[in-house]
Amino acid sequence: MVEMHEMVPGKRFDRYHELGQHAFGEKLGLWIVVPQQLVVEVGLNIVYMVTGGQSLQKFHEMVCDERCKNIKLPYFIMIFASVQFVLSQLPNFHSISSISLIAAVMSVSYSTIAFVASADHHRTNSAEVDYSLRATTTPGKVFDFLGGLGDVAFTYAGHNVVLEIQATIPSTPDKPSKKPMWKGVVVAYIIIAACYFPVALAGYWAFGNLVDENILITLEKPRWLIAVANMMVVVHVVGSYQVYAMPVFDMIETVLVRKFWFTPDLRLRMISRTVYVAFTMFVAMTFPFFSELLSFFGGFAFAPTSYFLPCIMWLIICKPKRFSLSWFTNWTCIFIGVSLMILAPIGGLRQIILKVKTYKFYQDYHGLSH
């Protein structure tokens, strides 16, 4: 994606759908890319709503004692959404750059806290830890494995806004934008790996199969540090929500102006963006299933836009020699991506259906029932 941003001399593909139109044609490119990109970005915003609400609820539990009144998760999701109602009125990516930087710092910080707290829990806890699989039946184990594939796909699926981000970098023939962008991408993925894998290993080491889908929900001590870490998560997803909402805002406002003749003014921005944030808030309050949403969207939406559509575009635009390393690598990624798209949503959807059977809508939700 980074390489294809300025592949055509004198032209920059600043939007994912623009690259799709160049590869597949004017109309077909739109129909292939835009619906899937929308599902990804809307799905992410829903997940961030759930995450923000759960972390706020955990923060409340950590700083309050037994005398505090219990507040249900939907109310915390509404509190998180109230911040997004305000931030959504910022005009573009440039205006949220500082928010994105703060979000990245928070991600590294709360991951470090989660790793250290998990390791300390294992050191001080004398109880035996059960490392067996949660599922007891063969179908259950298979579906959990498929859901896990979706979680992994979700983790490394940042391609959907890479062109929009690269568009903000100045570019000249001598200093093309791909050079600093490549550095940013490499650093970003190294940080992701450094944050996710140690936390996943330490969390499972400390709690076994009793670990929650969000390790910071499982951790209890030290209370003040876990409270701080959960607030860091809130700050992180506040910024991340905006990063993935901005392209949606752009699409919505473009369609309203070009197709329905709306005036591109402050009133249009305020109404359209408020309605969108309210929609993601409502869905998050209705289905607050963090891990299951990750699994489903990781396979259904992220696999196409991150793992095989860019490879298909590369094959069409660059036309690498058959059986060359580039040709073979891209076809391998396409095969893996298509497999993820087919298999991963099955596990996530099954878990959502199982949760819905016992979940009371708009009531409290505490993830796993151990």
Taking only the tens place, the pLDDT of each residue in 126-171 is: 677 787 887 778 888 888 888 777 777 777 666 667 887 788 787 7
Count of C-beta atoms within a 10 Å radius of residue 247: 21
Per-residue pLDDT for 78 more than 80? yes
Residue 23 CB partners (closer than 8 Å, separation 6+): 29, 312, 313, 316, 317
- pLDDT-derived band at 369 (thresholds 50, 70, 90) equals very low
Assess if residue 368 is contained within a domain: no
Least Cα distance to 312 among 324, 304, 301, 302 occurs for: 304
DSSP secondary structure, 33-76, as one string:
HHHHHHHHHHHHHHHHHHHHHHHHHHHHHHHS-TTSPP--HHHH
d(CA 181, CA 3): 10
Asked if residues 6 and 169 have their Cβ atoms less than 8 Å apart, the reply is no
Asked if residues 236 and 110 have their Cβ atoms less than 8 Å apart, the reply is yes
Assess if residue 369 is contained within a domain: no
Assess if residue 226 is contained within a domain: yes
Domain CATH number, residue 147? 1.20.1740
**Which position has the higher pLDDT, 365 or 245?**
245
pTM comes to: 0.80
- For 107, the domain range is 3-358
- Write down the pLDDT at residue 275: 93
**Which position has the higher pLDDT, 136 or 183?**
183
Helix axes 97-124, 223-260, angle to 10 degrees: 150
Assess if residue 7 is contained within a domain: yes
Number of domains in the chain: 1
Assess if residue 367 is contained within a domain: no
Taking only the tens place, the pLDDT of each residue in 341-353 is: 888 888 778 877 7
Average of pLDDT values for 93-122?
78
Taking only the tens place, the pLDDT of each residue in 55-66 is: 898 888 888 877
Residue 331 CB partners (closer than 8 Å, separation 6+): 311, 315
Assess if residue 293 is contained within a domain: yes
The beta strand positions in 165-322, using DSSP E, are none
Q: Which of 8-12, 27-31, 179-183 has the lowest mean pLDDT?
A: 8-12
Taking only the tens place, the pLDDT of each residue in 235-272 is: 888 888 888 888 888 888 888 888 888 777 888 888 99
- Mean pLDDT highest for which of 100-109, 324-333, 342-351? 324-333
Per-residue pLDDT for 13 more than 90? no
Assess if residue 216 is contained within a domain: yes
Assess if residue 342 is contained within a domain: yes
d(CA 370, CA 365): 13
d(CA 303, CA 160): 11
How many H-runs (helices) and E-runs (strands) does the chain carry? 13, 0
d(CA 148, CA 5): 32
Least Cα distance to 332 among 308, 316, 313 occurs for: 308
